[in-house]
Amino acid sequence: MPTVLITGANEGLGLQLAIQYATIGWEVMAACSDPLDTRLSDKFGELIIDLCYNALEEGSARNLVDCLDGRAIDVVILNEGISDEDGLLPEAITLAHWRPIMVANTFAPLHLASLLEPNLRKGELKILTAVSSHAASISRFQEPRRFAYRASQSALNQMWRNLSVEWRSWGCICLLLEPGKFRVSNADDQGLPDTDSVAAGFRSFITAANREHSGRHWAYDGTPIPW
């Protein structure tokens, strides 16, 4: 049975990914700071394993990996992060604002990935995926503000590029996937794809991924994103 570990699996894209992978018979390690809805365990039983993980909590990554007890992981999807919707001017940015965004979006994924290396080495597919954003693209992003978020996403991309080189020798494929804007409910913009469609796009891309995709930034539909 293939196994996927997903952080931020209690809501939004992470939750939909957990549901879709469990539906096709994968074992899902759902890592999140809040417990999963009990209806998921009622529906999928032991296919979904609820694990505790908080990107901002010291020692949380180590505790998560200890719970895995050396288990092989085929696909890792690091989805948990912090957005920046404050719209602060440069002079209004403080260390208190900057630090949690950079820790959650850049350090935490890299740290957790490093701890999961032995698990990925044991897996058959060896795919390490980070959820990135169009805000990471220096050449494409045209919106003002969001300095900390943009910095964190650009740094995340660089770290995944680094890992694609560091771990190439043992076959790890390091993917950067961007979901773009999507609607979570029917009240949202109907012109946007829904969470279900985006999650399906993620799964399709991951299934077809090879070494040529590693260390590059992609939209969930397979469109390459410029740096």
Which tens digit of pLDDT belongs to each residue from 99-112? 999 999 999 999 99
Taking the mean position of all CA atoms in its chain, how far away is CA 143? 23
Using pLDDT thresholds of 50, 70 and 90, give the confidence band for residue 69. Answer: very high
Look up residue 108 and give its two tokens: 């935490």
pLDDT at residue number 189: 61
pLDDT higher than threshold 80 for residue 27: yes
- Alpha helices (H) along the chain: 12-23, 38-44, 60-68, 95-102, 108-122, 147-166, 195-208
Instruction: Give me the phi and psi of 218, to 5 degrees please.
Output: -130, 145
Q: Is the pLDDT of residue 142 over 90?
A: no
Q: Of the candidates 22, 158, 21, 144, which has an alpha carbon nearest to the alpha carbon of residue 84?
A: 144
Q: Above pLDDT 90, what percent of the chain?
A: 76
Token look-up 């049975």 returns 1
Q: What is the pTM of this model?
A: 0.93
How many C-beta atoms lie closer than 10 Å to residue 88's C-beta? Answer: 15
- Write the DSSP symbol of residue 117: H
Measured in degrees and rounded to the nearest 5, phi and psi for residue 173 equal: -105, 115
pLDDT tier for residue 120 given thresholds of 50, 70 and 90: very high
Name residues whose C-beta falls within 8 Å of residue 76's C-beta, 6 or more positions apart in sequence: 4, 5, 113, 116, 119, 120, 127, 128, 129
Digit-coded pLDDT (tens) for 6-25:
999 999 999 999 999 999 99
Residue 187 is predicted with a pLDDT of 53
153 pLDDT exceeds 90? Answer: yes
Tens digit of pLDDT for each residue in 182-215?
766 555 566 788 899 999 999 999 999 999 999 9
> Average pLDDT, stretch 123-146?
88
Task: For the chain, give the longest Cα–Cα distance.
Answer: 52
| Residue with the two structure tokens 């980070």 | 130
The residue-averaged pLDDT of 132-146 equals 82
Which pLDDT score, from 0 to 100, does residue 226 have? 84
pLDDT for 76 equals: 98
Q: Is the pLDDT of residue 44 over 80?
A: yes
Q: Report which residue type is found at 130.
A: A
Average pLDDT over residues 73-77: 98
Amino acid at 120: L
Look-up of token digits 């032995």: 118
Percent of the chain with pLDDT over 70: 96
44: left (phi over 0), alpha (psi -120 to 50) or beta: alpha
Res. 135 pLDDT band, cuts 50 70 90: confident
Q: Which helix (H) or strand (E) holds 130?
A: strand 127-131
